[in-house]
Structure 1
């Protein structure tokens, strides 16, 4: 069914609560594992109905943040979401404590029960009011960013549409664009500080009410970290500092020479060529058509997937002034449909949507007929491997999007992917520090960010910009507000995707076979196990980073 034709109806919370109670009670009283599993099948259908309503409301609100109807629907789900979480946890506890646990584990997997254990550690009915307040704060930040109005060259733009000016080949245009963005953030930084300060204190209070010293442990549980811990992440960041930061510095120096500036400035961020970064050729419709051709040639499975997406209008990718910033893929259960949301802005990022977000959507499509929905319930670092690896698997088709600047795009993409890893780790370490010291003032948080810049991005020069130069850059990173501790997942996945790149350069068919296997494995096993089964080395292992950087340096510098 086409997205525009999918009917929306707000869930009836009285009916939802009644059904949850019925499922929970009947599961408790079941006389066998087989009976419990049959009830669990009813649970799949019921929760798919609930999730479909919630997803449709979220997507349509994001498409137009000024739509009054869907704004009210979004507010409603902010309120009832924690209550639904409460019932989810109650039901999970019944399964977890079932006398027929062995039978259930044989049906829905051991990962499911580890996830239930984690969910129980992350929730209690008493913190529902705090969770509702947290949701409202997150929505407030999202709306503030989405509705930014930035005057520039006689027009008014949002943040997403400013990006093409911030990466202009004309350095003076870039300078003016970054100044305009800085002035916008300077005008709202006090409000963002207020929102984030309330978020940090709110999340800290949730953690303490659940018996934790601070939000870090709770944040890990909220991210469903079921097979690695804070110490493993810290060791990963240590390797990044040791190997990726020096590699990234070499890439930035190569970029500096290429664009012909004496010293890299923040206004040169993401600028790779003197004649401008390669931009996609053609209209948004032509970009989507090129994507359809590319996926029809990559594999029979990707052809079927992309044709389905196009036929059912499951893309909303045009940038608009009242649209939420950013991009994502989500899944609408009752229609077995992935959905891709993005903001095309005339830059290479438009093509990244067709590769990155389609990597997510392809995995969702592959599991659309899987009865055991827990197998599709992947953790974020696994999900990001699907997307980041697809960016590399589609390298051979980039001429469709960039014409004779294909090679420039590939150089830019490889350099950008490698340089991202230190930035992502910086975001992660920043959040650890913030939540370990929740009493910090807004000014102290900005000082922490400025200090981390010197460690992870020593090339950055903010030229005493009154906003960015004072450690404010993090305020434009939405994950810090809405999804704490998410960003390290991108880094872990990036290291895995780079391993696929090395593998496909040696044997493309083998790499694709392993990637396809990883997509189908999804959450049938833990992240640390499925990546090994797909032929990858764990990014937590000492030595993994050193070997990878060595191979990527040879590519980046044509050795």
Structure 2
């Protein structure tokens, strides 16, 4: 076996290629001392219970809450980062387990805060905040708490609900265990003619296979197994949706959709308009299917042909330093300040670059209010890794700006905004790579990469969103849904979305049963809205619109200081209109024109 295939141990990785976690704590002993100090100090937060009825006590409590919150977060982050460096290291496993267990106890010390504020007269709370200079900073936080007052139940009812929360999570847990642990799919024959076991984990590789028989067999084998359990899976999903609807009803929301969106002040129309806008533009997806069919040279386009790349290019070996240069060139339109933060992040030890034995897989950006943003990569010298670097640094620079500009309580940002910065970076990078590429095959490959990203992140997620809306509204009316009903709804959506050039195979009808996101109510639409917001930012920046970069940086600095719709609106992206999503579809059409031109 060559050296390249042998994963290095953690200690064999060059220190310049590792993140600098020692900037949080110089040693594990220092961490232990900080943890011990937190355990001694944190119980003091309980002393304020029953006393949050005047400005002085609220101020002292919040100062303590912030001070200890920052310390607890820092301790938590360090233990997790150290464990992720090598998950087989028992010392760091123990540290992580210890702090994880403690955080549940820590949360109990402040659990009374929101109920106690809500028990006060609303005008009294507003007067305390508005008339106390030191508390004006917390105005948005308190307004956000008070907004939920009509939906908070009595103390005994809240306790009762909390005590059955595990039971209400049962459908999701059952689906998870059934599809990930108990279901077995049997064997298929791979590209080399060898029998291999099909799993949820390797299915995504087989469905992209160049060998049509392999992807067809994987497709039919996987979905036929789901079909065998369709009645169980339909009952599980219906139970989960009924739980969401029950929660919305007892909390006096008009619908489960409103219950999901209102806490972040997102109008229900944002969701419904996104679904309508995509429905009005499905001809663009139909055109993509038609072009893909032509590029693949197929007489018939089936559902199992959807994921296969239209073109293969030789794998390019890209050293990490070259990847950094490529991303910097791609992000050049964001200006000197942004690029300097990016460069200093690379040089100052934000990034843990390479794989090593035991290192956590995948990639993420993380950190605490008083730490650097940290980026975990498993860099493998491929073009996809360059895109991952741009994506994760997008998150990190968003966090950097938010923590620098906002107080601790507003430094975090909501899921609705979370993917915007990372996706904007990816959009700028791929635009740069397409425009500078002279090799026809590679250009075709890059164009298809971006088309696939829009298809899977925008069209597919909003198809999911449309299905969710149908299922929740049907069950809200008291109409039951059987496996047959779910199958028909899913089949009809696929026919509508993919158009006349796609043969919608019967096996796809059960695909709804495979998607775990349906157990997190009205979650997936945010992938599409996040992508749309990022597209709108990238378009304005690339077109050199006046103030576009400044508005975008303002968005990055906003953290969670307002509701996500307002934060984006102030930065020039109004998600209550169809414009951002239409800008994404415009880009999709632009890429289709490029693809058409390349093949004709």
Q: TM-score range with shorter-chain normalisation? A: 0.7 to 0.9
Is residue 44 from structure 1 mapped to residue 66 from structure 2 by the alignment? yes
Partner of 1:524: 561
- Cα deviation digits, residues 118-162 of structure 1 (max 9, x gap): 555367333212334455765665566666887564556764554
Partner of 1:130: 164
**C-alpha spacing 1:532/1:362, structure 2 compared with 1 (3 Å):** same
Partner of 1:261: 298
Is residue 464 from structure 1 mapped to residue 506 from structure 2 by the alignment? yes
**C-alpha spacing 1:445/1:393, structure 2 compared with 1 (3 Å):** same
- Cα deviation digits, residues 34-55 of structure 1 (max 9, x gap): x744542321232344555666
Partner of 2:515: 477
Offset, 1:217? 2.8
What aligned pairs does 1:299-318 form with structure 2 within 5 A after superposition? Answer: 299=336, 301-302=338-339, 304-305=341-342, 308=345, 312=349
What aligned pairs does 1:63-462 form with structure 2 within 5 A after superposition? Answer: 86-87=111-112, 89-90=114-115, 93=118, 97=125, 99-102=127-130, 103=132, 107-108=136-137, 111-118=140-147, 120=149, 121=151, 124-134=158-168, 138=172, 153-154=194-195, 159-179=200-220, 181-182=222-223, 185=226, 193=234, 195-212=236-253, 215-221=256-262, 224-226=263-265, 228-243=266-281, 245-273=282-310, 275-276=311-312, 281-282=316-317, 286=319, 288-297=320-329, 298=331, 299=336, 301-302=338-339, 304-305=341-342, 308=345, 312=349, 329-333=365-369, 335-340=371-376, 350-370=385-405, 372-395=407-430, 398=433, 406-419=442-455, 420-436=457-473, 437=475, 439-458=480-499, 461-462=503-504
- 1:471 is paired with a residue of what secondary structure? helix
Counterparts of 1:331 and 1:519, CA distance in 2 = 16
**C-alpha spacing 1:445/1:41, structure 2 compared with 1 (3 Å):** farther
State the TM-score, normalizing by the size of structure 2. Answer: 0.72
**C-alpha spacing 1:312/1:45, structure 2 compared with 1 (3 Å):** farther
**C-alpha spacing 1:203/1:386, structure 2 compared with 1 (3 Å):** same
Alignment check: 8 A CA contact 2:42 2:106 kept: no
Counterparts of 2:37 and 2:496, CA distance in 1 = 51
Counterparts of 2:202 and 2:348, CA distance in 1 = 28
Counterparts of 1:143 and 1:77, CA distance in 2 = 27
Counterparts of 1:478 and 1:217, CA distance in 2 = 21
- Cα deviation digits, residues 34-90 of structure 1 (max 9, x gap): x7445423212323445556667888699979x997998899699879968944533
Counterparts of 2:572 and 2:531, CA distance in 1 = 15
Offset, 1:557? 0.8
Aligned alpha-carbon RMSD (Å) = 4.9
Counterparts of 2:272 and 2:46, CA distance in 1 = 42
Counterparts of 2:360 and 2:225, CA distance in 1 = 18
Alignment check: 8 A CA contact 1:265 1:461 kept: yes
Alignment check: 8 A CA contact 1:338 1:364 kept: no
Counterparts of 1:115 and 1:189, CA distance in 2 = 42
Question: Which segments of 5 or more consecutive residues in structure 2 lack a partner in the other structure?
Answer: 1-18
Task: Count the aligned residue pairs.
Answer: 539
Counterparts of 1:55 and 1:90, CA distance in 2 = 28
Offset, 1:114? 4.2
Greater Rg over alpha carbons, structure: 2
Counterparts of 2:271 and 2:590, CA distance in 1 = 27
**C-alpha spacing 1:122/1:242, structure 2 compared with 1 (3 Å):** farther
**C-alpha spacing 1:327/1:367, structure 2 compared with 1 (3 Å):** same
- Cα deviation digits, residues 369-407 of structure 1 (max 9, x gap): 445123323232222221221111223664899995652
Alignment check: 8 A CA contact 1:2 1:313 kept: yes
Alignment check: 8 A CA contact 2:327 2:386 kept: no
